[in-house]
Amino acid sequence: MSRAREDTGGTDQTPTSIEPVKERFPALEEEEVLLELLAPEASRVAVAGEFNNWNPIDTPLSNTGQGLWVVRLMLRSGQYEYRFVVDGQWVEDPEAPQRMANSHGGFNSLLTVPLEVRTSIL
């Protein structure tokens, strides 16, 4: 909490406390997001999207051993288009609730990372 001394004509003031940036601007704080894809026949799965410059190899998923591939991403609030890359083939996320048409005649999956509401800053 910041306090200023009563103005006595001088410039002596009690220092103000500064809140961390993530407390003042929660959209800058990253949230953990889990993406999963069931692909039992796949030997390699990655995800490419706006969060990694559409790089098809930078963000590989891990096979759980049962054909379920998973990756944890740390993303700021917002919407991100993405696609999975399964053995070199670009595919939509069949579990994504939203998708958008892309310039290649197909669809990109849409991931929404909500802004966490913090009543303490309102």
What is the reported pLDDT for 29?
76
The residue assigned the tokens 């706006």 is 50
53: left (phi over 0), alpha (psi -120 to 50) or beta: left
Residues 45-97 have pLDDT tens digits of 999 999 999 999 999 999 998 999 999 999 999 999 999 999 999 999 999 99
**Domain limits, the chain:** 30-121
What is the reported pLDDT for 119?
47
- Read off φ and ψ for residue 22, nearest 5 degrees: -65, -25
With 0.85 as the threshold, say if the pTM is over it. Answer: no
Name residues whose C-beta falls within 8 Å of residue 100's C-beta, 6 or more positions apart in sequence. Answer: 81, 107, 108, 110
Q: Which CATH architecture has domain 30-121?
A: Sandwich (2.60)
Task: Work out the percent of the chain whose per-residue pLDDT is above 90.
Answer: 65
